Amino acid sequence: MTNTLSKSSKNKENKADNNIDQNKRDFMVLAASGVAAVGAAAAAWPFIDYMNPADDVLALSSIEVDLSTIEKGQSITVMWRGKPVFVRRRTEKEIETAKKDDAIKLRDPQKDSERVKDGNDEWLILVGICTHLGCVPLGYKGDFDGWFCPCHGSHYDTSGRIRRGPAPKNMAVPDYKFLDKTTIKIG
């Protein structure tokens, strides 16, 4: 019994390690109580916890996210109303690429500027759910260096817009606002 338990917990740890190793820039954090301030410091949360958010997390109607620890080229994931939300601090190159692609024919046409807050275009906030059938896409992957959904192969760009694969829509931008330069409130 003890052996079975320790084997199963070791498997969970291995799975969590693998997921974290898969992409060191893409961190997972979990808002745990009330109005939660979260940051990259909580990056060690095991992936398994994200799969099973607690009831109190599911119930949160809004969360505050501390952006101060997120560096350029990094992304964290927070849980909001039971869904993952990607908070990505984009590099100049990522912003430039996204803006350049405003001009091309997009499946779900939207300018990059419509997906970020005025004067804060380095911050991209997205509901991290693929618009095809609801998988969670992987950051910094795919043909457009945005996100890639491994379930059926949807590629999103650095603005979270759908660019290739079966997903019909861009990843959604949740309702959020800046409380100050380094804090946003989602919801």
Q: Which active-site residues does the annotation give?
A: 152
- Selected from 76, 78, 98, 149, the binder of ligand FES by CB under 6 A is 149
Q: Which stretch binds ligand FES (CB under 6 A): 10-18, 23-31, 146-154, 179-187?
A: 146-154
DSSP class of residue 33 equals S
Q: Is residue 142 at the binding interface for ligand FES, with CB under 6 A as the rule?
A: no
Q: Is residue 154 at the binding interface for ligand FES, with CB under 6 A as the rule?
A: yes
Q: How many residues bind ligand FES (CB under 6 A)?
A: 13
Q: Is residue 165 at the binding interface for ligand FES, with CB under 6 A as the rule?
A: yes
How many angstroms separate the CA atoms of 64 and 149, rounded?
27
- Selected from 32, 95, 127, 151, the binder of ligand FES by CB under 6 A is 151
Footprint (CB under 6 A) of ligand FES, residues 80-139? 130, 132-135
Q: Which stretch binds ligand FES (CB under 6 A): 23-31, 74-82, 83-91, 159-167?
A: 159-167
List residues binding ligand FES (CB under 6 A).
Answer: 130, 132-135, 149, 151-154, 165-167
